[in-house]
């Protein structure tokens, strides 16, 4: 599903954020990406979402070779991804409902389907009663769950999250991770960047570890039974 | 972005797991595209109306910029209508040979009247001329010491065309007539007036172009600010798979609305000013014995004004989008 072959990323200014990464994540897998701050976790995710372009090597995501993707193809490619940010990136002047509906509106879904699917997604993250609220009226954990509902509302093939629990206390972090596990169980490929090693260790998933832009180890998949 | 969902049913009944029933239902189709256009149009208008003061600044500048050249244009068309009235003064008087019978004079008048370049021709017999001359001076021929009528018969020709080359051609034909003794022309000033109007017309066109550029810049700047204030939102929706056209659409509609509001406001201003000037202008012209003929913006003129306003605003919006949307790539 996600295939890095000797991928390097050098930012303008000469700093090499990722060096010769080879990483393969299969369909339906759930993988954690760890590493110290500045190790290159966010950069790796930005290559997958095509926010940044690899300097060398080949990156294949969902059957598409990203280096060859034309500018006009990027929007349609991104519609197959669900993206969760540390700071959730919700639109603060719109309701929870409208925020979650965004990916469906962008894809041109029929309003009838939009309503149904938004409610289904909000139901899954346990925020159905909050659909008319503004993000500002919600707690940090609830905001992050809205962000997750928005990421999964289109049932993307791949779910990416960059420090999704970075701003949350341990109890809430566990709940969020449990949510990701649930989506993985119904077949979504999940990749989560996190430096919270304690949390990751408890979850028993495959871990890819970055250090100064290099991949340290990709131990064998240890899926929970 | 125009991403709010209109016409959403307000029922709060949870819909359990129904999302699993059907996967993607033909996205990107034509009705979705139309729906987004409709939503963008209404939401851009609402956005504009929600900050009435700042948006009024923009469309008022548009309105005033368009009002000036439109008023000049209106004044010009009024003047042109006026010169048609004045054309009566642009007549040619043909003095016929002494002693030419009235029947010949009448025939010649009818011949001239039938020519396409002649609007009207009428015959003034020697007797008529003499009578009117005496009436004007309030004396009789004996007092003047004349026993016979010294005046010739004449034909007054009113040309139908103002075009100077056509007038000259007509003049040549008239001078060539054997019965004509002398020709008196009163046309040169019309020619001069027309040249003057052409000059004014060029000046007005130049002014219109300049003020059009001003509208372009004003709308461009307004759209730039709108993009600026929604940069974060643009970044988010681009990351969620919004196409370039989807991102641009609400701003394009914003440009259309500004153009429409500015154009309509310009029409109101122009009409108000024309109404305001109507009576002083009538009074002024009547002192010259002229009938005021203040033009109004007709249906076509109004349509052109509003479409031009929308067109220029759209161009301004496109320039702003071209230059500033690049700065709102996801990070
Ligand atoms: N846009 C950028 N331009 C230049 N250097 C960058 C940019 N983004 C990240 N970097 C650098 O790349 C390295 C990896 O950063 P990042 O991927 O954000 O690490 P992490 O998410 O693991 O903390 C860091 O040294 C960072 O300074
Ligand atoms: Mg990071």
What domains appear along chain B, each with residue ranges and CATH number? 38-84+193-328 (no CATH), 91-185 (3.30.70.3040)
Q: What pLDDT does B148 receive? A: 76
CA A119 – CA A97 distance, rounded (Å)? 8
Would the CB atoms of B15 and A116 count as touching at under 8 Å? Answer: yes
Q: Which pLDDT tens digit goes with each residue over A127-170?
A: 999 999 999 999 988 999 999 999 999 999 999 999 998 878 88
- Mean pLDDT, all residues of chain B: 81
pLDDT at B254 over 80: yes
* Sign of the dihedral defined by the CA atoms of residues B129, B133, B134, B136, in that order: positive
Counting atoms of ligand 1 from 1, which one is nearest the CA of A44?
A: 17
Q: What pLDDT does B163 receive? A: 61
Q: Which pLDDT tens digit goes with each residue over B74-99?
A: 888 877 776 666 655 567 888 888 88
Other Cβ atoms less than 10 A from the Cβ of A53: the count is 12
Give the Å distance between the CA of A11 and the centre of ligand 1.
Answer: 8
Match domain A1-80+156-225 to its CATH number in 3.40.50.360, 3.90.870.10, 3.40.50.300, 3.30.1060.10.
Answer: 3.40.50.300
- Which residue CA neighbors atom 26 of ligand 1 most closely? A38
CA B124 – CA B111 distance, rounded (Å)? 15
Ordered by start, the domain boundaries in chain A are: 1-80+156-225, 91-155
What's the maximum distance between 2 C-alpha atoms anywhere in chain A?
50
Would the CB atoms of A108 and B5 count as touching at under 8 Å? Answer: no
Mean pLDDT of B44-54: 87
* Strand partners for A31: A191, A206
CA B40 – CA B127 distance, rounded (Å)? 80
Task: Tell if the pTM clears 0.80, that is, is over it.
Answer: no
Mean pLDDT of B265-286: 86
Which chain B positions have a beta carbon within 8 Å of A94's beta carbon?
Answer: 3-4
Give the Å distance between the CA of A43 and the centre of ligand 1.
Answer: 6
* Sign of the dihedral defined by the CA atoms of residues A202, A205, A211, A216, in that order: positive
CA A45 – CA A172 distance, rounded (Å)? 23
CA B285 – CA B288 distance, rounded (Å)? 5
Would the CB atoms of B32 and A114 count as touching at under 8 Å? Answer: no
Evaluate whether B160 touches B188 at the Cβ level (below 8 Å): no
Give the Å distance between the CA of A93 and the centre of ligand 2.
Answer: 26
Q: What pLDDT does B19 receive? A: 37
- Which residue CA neighbors atom 27 of ligand 1 most closely? A38
Give the closest of B19, B31, B32 to A117, CB-based: B19
CA distance B230 to chain A (A): 10
Q: CB within 8 A of B53, min separation 6: which ones?
A: none
Evaluate whether A93 touches A114 at the Cβ level (below 8 Å): no
ipTM of the complex model: 0.90
CA distance B163 to chain A (A): 58
- Which residue CA neighbors atom 8 of ligand 1 most closely? A43
Disruptive mutation site among B29, B240, B248 for chain A (greatest number of A CBs within 10 Å): B240
Q: What pLDDT does B15 receive? A: 40
Helix runs in chain A, H state only = 41-48, 74-78, 96-106, 111-124, 140-152, 170-185, 197-203
Burial class (CB in 10 A: 0-12, 13-18, 19+), A88: buried
Residue of A nearest to B22 (CA): A113
Q: What pLDDT does B87 receive? A: 57
pLDDT at A224 over 70: no
Q: Which residue has the tokens 């369909």?
A: A27
* Strand partners for B95: B154, B182
Helix runs in chain B, H state only = 30-50, 52-86, 102-114, 126-137, 141-144, 164-175, 188-229, 231-239, 244-286, 299-324
- Which residue CA neighbors atom 18 of ligand 1 most closely? A42
Mean pLDDT of A34-56: 94
pLDDT at B317 over 60: yes
Please report the number of interchain residue pairs, chain A to chain B, with beta-carbon separation below 8 angstroms: 110
The pair of three-digit structure tokens given for residue B45, joined into one six-digit string: 């208008």
Q: Which pLDDT tens digit goes with each residue over B208-225?
A: 999 999 999 999 999 999
- Which residue CA neighbors atom 14 of ligand 1 most closely? A40
Evaluate whether B155 touches B100 at the Cβ level (below 8 Å): no
For ligand 1, residues with CB inside 6 Å are A 11, 13, 15, 17, 35, 37-43
* Whole-number CA gyration radius for chain A: 17
Pocket test of ligand 1: the residue of A10, A11, A162 to mutate, having most ligand atoms within 8 Å of its CB, is A11
Q: Return the DSSP state at B97.
A: P
Burial class (CB in 10 A: 0-12, 13-18, 19+), B19: buried
The mean-pLDDT minimum among B54-63, B220-229, B252-261 falls in B54-63
Estimate the crossing angle of helix B244-286 against helix B30-50, to 10 degrees.
50
CA A79 – CA A151 distance, rounded (Å)? 10
* Strand partners for B154: B95, B124
Q: Which residue has the tokens 């900050």?
A: B51
Counting atoms of ligand 1 from 1, which one is nearest the CA of A213?
A: 14
Would the CB atoms of B236 and A110 count as touching at under 8 Å? Answer: no
Percent of chain B at pLDDT > 90 equals: 31
Give the Å distance between the CA of A17 and the centre of ligand 2.
Answer: 11
Evaluate whether B270 touches B70 at the Cβ level (below 8 Å): yes
CA distance A92 to chain B (A): 9
Would the CB atoms of A102 and B240 count as touching at under 8 Å? Answer: yes
Evaluate whether A150 touches A102 at the Cβ level (below 8 Å): yes
Evaluate whether B116 touches B160 at the Cβ level (below 8 Å): yes
CA B308 – CA B331 distance, rounded (Å)? 39
Which chain A positions have a beta carbon within 8 Å of B35's beta carbon?
Answer: 108, 111
Q: What pLDDT does A52 receive? A: 93
Evaluate whether B124 touches B154 at the Cβ level (below 8 Å): yes
Which chain A positions have a beta carbon within 8 Å of B5's beta carbon?
Answer: 97-98, 101, 105, 111, 114-115
Estimate the crossing angle of helix A140-152 against helix A170-185, to 10 degrees.
10
Q: Is A101 on the interface with B (CB under 8 A)?
A: yes
* Sign of the dihedral defined by the CA atoms of residues A11, A17, A20, A26, in that order: negative
Evaluate whether B196 touches B83 at the Cβ level (below 8 Å): no
Q: Which listed ligand is nearest to A19 at the C-alpha?
A: 1
Banded model confidence at residue B142, pLDDT cuts 50, 70, 90: low
pLDDT at B27 over 70: no
Q: Which residue has the tokens 């940090």?
A: A140
CA B56 – CA B63 distance, rounded (Å)? 10
User: How many H-runs (helices) and E-runs (strands) does chain A carry?
Assistant: 7, 10
Residue of B nearest to A107 (CA): B27
Pocket test of ligand 1: the residue of A36, A37, A38, A216 to mutate, having most ligand atoms within 8 Å of its CB, is A38
Evaluate whether A188 touches A156 at the Cβ level (below 8 Å): yes
Banded model confidence at residue B17, pLDDT cuts 50, 70, 90: very low
The mean-pLDDT minimum among B90-94, B161-165, B228-232 falls in B161-165
- Mean pLDDT, all residues of chain A: 90
Helix or strand or coil: residue B108?
Answer: helix
Banded model confidence at residue B287, pLDDT cuts 50, 70, 90: confident
Q: Is A121 on the interface with B (CB under 8 A)?
A: yes
Give the Å distance between the CA of A36 and the centre of ligand 2.
Answer: 9
Q: Is B237 on the interface with A (CB under 8 A)?
A: yes
């Amino acid at each position: 599903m996600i295939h890095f072959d000797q991928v390097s990323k050098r930012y303008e200014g000469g700093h090499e954020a990722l060096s010769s990464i080879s990483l393969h994540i299969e369909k339906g897998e759930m993988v954690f990406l760890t590493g110290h701050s500045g190790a290159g976790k966010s950069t790796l995710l930005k290559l997958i979402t095509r926010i940044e372009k690899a300097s060398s090597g080949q990156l294949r995501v969902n059957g598409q070779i990203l280096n060859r993707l034309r500018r006009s193809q990027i929007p349609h490619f991104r519609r197959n991804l669900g993206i969760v940010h540390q700071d959730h990136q919700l639109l603060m002047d719109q309701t929870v409902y409208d925020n979650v509906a965004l990916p469906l509106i962008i894809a041109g879904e029929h309003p009838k389907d939009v309503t149904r699917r938004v409610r289904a997604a909000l139901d899954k993250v346990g925020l159905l009663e909050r659909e008319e609220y503004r993000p500002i009226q919600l707690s940090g954990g609830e905001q992050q769950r809205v962000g997750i509902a928005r990421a999964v509302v289109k049932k993307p093939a791949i779910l990416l999250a960059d420090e999704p629990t970075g701003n949350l206390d341990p109890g809430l972090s566990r709940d969020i991770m449990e949510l990701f596990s649930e989506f993985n169980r119904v077949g979504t490929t999940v990749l989560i960047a996190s430096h919270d090693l304690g949390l990751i260790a408890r979850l028993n998933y495959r871990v890819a570890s970055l250090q100064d832009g290099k991949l340290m180890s990709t131990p064998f998949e240890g899926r929970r039974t | 972005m125009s991403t709010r969902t209109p016409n959403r049913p307000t029922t709060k009944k949870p819909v359990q797991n129904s999302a699993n029933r059907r996967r993607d239902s033909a996205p990107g189709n034509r009705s979705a595209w139309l729906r987004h256009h409709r939503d963008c149009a209404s939401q851009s208008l609402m956005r504009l109306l929600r900050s009435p003061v700042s948006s009024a600044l923009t469309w008022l500048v548009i309105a005033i910029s368009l009002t000036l050249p439109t008023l000049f244009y209106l004044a010009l068309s009024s003047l042109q209508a006026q010169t048609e009235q004045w054309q009566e003064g642009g007549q040619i008087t043909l003095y016929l040979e002494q002693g030419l019978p009235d029947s010949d004079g009448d025939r010649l008048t009818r011949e001239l009247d039938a020519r396409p370049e002649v609007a009207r021709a009428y015959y003034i017999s020697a007797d008529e001329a003499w009578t009117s001359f005496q009436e004007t001076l309030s004396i009789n021929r004996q007092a003047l010491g004349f026993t016979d009528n010294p005046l010739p018969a004449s034909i007054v020709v009113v040309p139908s065309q103002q075009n100077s080359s056509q007038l000259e051609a007509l003049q040549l034909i008239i001078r060539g007539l054997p019965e004509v003794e002398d020709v008196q022309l009163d046309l040169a000033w019309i020619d001069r007036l027309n040249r003057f109007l052409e000059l004014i017309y060029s000046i007005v066109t130049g002014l219109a172009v300049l003020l059009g550029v001003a509208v372009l810049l004003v709308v461009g700047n307004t759209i730039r600010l709108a993009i600026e204030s929604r940069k974060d939102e643009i970044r988010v929706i681009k990351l969620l798979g919004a196409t370039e056209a989807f991102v641009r659409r609400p701003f394009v509609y914003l440009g259309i609305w500004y153009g429409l509001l500015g154009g309509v406001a310009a029409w109101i201003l122009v009409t108000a000013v024309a109404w305001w000037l109507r009576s002083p202008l009538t009074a002024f012209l009547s002192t010259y014995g002229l009938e005021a003929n203040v033009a109004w913006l007709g249906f076509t003129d109004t349509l052109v004004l509003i479409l031009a306003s929308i067109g220029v605003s759209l161009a301004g919006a496109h320039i702003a989008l071209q230059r500033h949307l690049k700065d709102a790539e996801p990070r």
